[in-house]
């Protein structure tokens, strides 16, 4: 379990540091958070998918309302 959390964190950090603009705003951050939470509940892949969908939805909602959005 510890290896999975460390690997997920390393992948997320690498993606955030890469500097490439994300095409799906909010998806990466939501997928990491959802994946970790889902892993704790025994459903890591489903949590990552749901987290991506929620993060993307929130980013779109914030950009349409003129807010800062997720960067």
Number of H helices, E strands in the chain: 3, 0
6-53 pLDDT, tens digit per residue, is: 777 777 766 655 555 555 677 878 888 888 888 888 887 888 888 888
In the three-class reduction of DSSP (H, G, I as helix; E, B as strand; rest coil), residue 26 is classed as coil
CA-based nearest residue to 27, from 68, 64, 65, 70 = 70
Q: What residue segments make up the domains of the chain, in order of their start?
A: 2-64
Structure tokens at 19: 């500097």
* Per-residue model confidence (pLDDT) at position 69: 45
């Amino acid at each position: 379990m510890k290896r999975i959390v460390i690997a997920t964190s390393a992948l997320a950090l690498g993606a955030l540091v890469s500097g490439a603009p994300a095409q799906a705003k909010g998806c990466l951050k939501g997928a990491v958070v959802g994946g970790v939470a889902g892993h704790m509940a025994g459903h890591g892949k489903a949590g990552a998918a749901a987290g991506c969908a929620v993060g993307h939805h929130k980013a779109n909602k914030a950009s349409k309302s003129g807010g800062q959005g997720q960067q």
